[in-house]
Amino acid sequence: MQIIPLRATTDEFLFFFLPYYITQITVFSWLNYQSRSAILSGIYGLVLAFPLAATVIQVMLNPFSTGFKVTPKGTKSDRFSFNWKLALPLIILFVFTALSLWKIICICAVAEMHDSLEMTKKMRGLNLGWIWSAYNLISIGVALLILLDVPKADLHEWFNLRRSIKLNLTTATTTQTYWGTTTRISQTGADISLTQKIEVLNPNEIIPANILILEENLALSGLVNGVEINEDNYTVQVQFKDITLEQERQLISMLFCRPGQWKRKNTPGELASLWLLVKVLLRPKILFERNPKITTIKVRQS
């Protein structure tokens, strides 16, 4: 129908839009106590736009339908998965936006070859159209990429909690006692950095381990998964085994329930958020992060 939704020159558009946009990106995070970013919130809103619209329409047509269902979270996965249900409307929108951008570019190219006053009037607003469409394409592209769920190496969360450890390793011939500090720990295991040299263990031998967390007076049993030797640093990886209910409660209390342990996490600034979007586009995880690694949550040590 040859309808141009925004009839303005570039100067007119920037005069009205630029102050508003600068104000938004500089004040948005401050108004939300550094808990949200304007750029990242825009991507998040784009992902949820169609599901929320569909939900609103469904509730209006049938307000007493089935209730809200919680989707499963925290599941372990060894492969990438893509949320096609959320992505399908965005893919359709991406295709139409790409076609629109291509049409605008073609029209602008024809207009450059026919430089006339009448054509200039018809082109008013189209020069902004390709910029707007390009921005929308980038936003939709990032939204599609974040719908790609990366593999999760472990179901449980790991913490960089430092605790003094007494470690007893029982081999076929002897039992050795070592002292060390946890470098990371979860409900299922721990990595322990030892303060003394450890004998090289047979990788084919199952090594039982008894762990005493001194600060908590918590005794746990497990098996040695491996030993890392880095110069003079020896790290033993232990997987907990046969934990009683009382031990599990004490372990969960140590990991999750210590007063003041959680560090406040502020959202990235707008420039940092923009850099994150660029990294998502230039370095998709499906291409550059095929092997997931266990990441630790930083907490206060006291």
Q: Tell me the domain boundaries of the chain.
A: 10-149, 158-256
Q: What is the mean pLDDT of residues 269-279?
A: 83
Start-end of H helices in the chain: 10-31, 38-61, 84-113, 117-123, 126-145, 245-256, 270-282, 285-288
d(C-alpha 54, C-alpha 218), whole Å: 51
Residue 140's closest CA among 187, 99, 110? 99
d(C-alpha 108, C-alpha 128), whole Å: 11
Amino acid letter for position 171: T
Q: Locate tokens 């979860």: which residue?
A: 186
> Residue 145 — very low, low, confident or very high, per pLDDT cuts 50/70/90?
confident
C-beta atoms surrounding 240 within 10 Å: 20
Give me 208's structure tokens: 């039982």
What is the structure's pLDDT at 20?
85
d(C-alpha 83, C-alpha 151), whole Å: 13
Q: What is the mean pLDDT of residues 2-13?
A: 67
d(C-alpha 211, C-alpha 34), whole Å: 41
C-beta atoms surrounding 279 within 10 Å: 12
Residues 151 and 75 sit within 8 Å (Cβ to Cβ)? no
> Residue 68 — very low, low, confident or very high, per pLDDT cuts 50/70/90?
low
pLDDT digits (tens, 9 = 90+) for 211-232: 999 988 999 999 888 888 777 7
Which residues are CB-neighbours of 102 under 8 A, at least 6 positions away?
Answer: none
pLDDT digits (tens, 9 = 90+) for 223-271: 888 888 777 778 888 999 988 999 999 999 999 988 888 888 888 888 8
Which residues are CB-neighbours of 35 under 8 A, at least 6 positions away?
Answer: 266, 267
E strand spans, 134-249: 148-149, 158-159, 164-170, 175-185, 189-194, 208-213, 218-230, 233-240
C-beta atoms surrounding 252 within 10 Å: 11
Residue 271's closest CA among 279, 261, 259? 279
> Residue 191 — very low, low, confident or very high, per pLDDT cuts 50/70/90?
very high
Per-chain mean pLDDT for the chain: 80
d(C-alpha 177, C-alpha 212), whole Å: 11
Record: fold of 158-256 = Thrombin, subunit H (2.40.10)
Sort residue 292 into left (φ over 0), alpha (ψ -120 to 50) or beta.
Answer: beta
> How open is the CA angle 54-60-62, to the nearest 5 degrees?
95
d(C-alpha 193, C-alpha 240), whole Å: 16
> Which pairing describes strands 189-194 and 175-185: parallel, antiparallel, or unpaired?
antiparallel
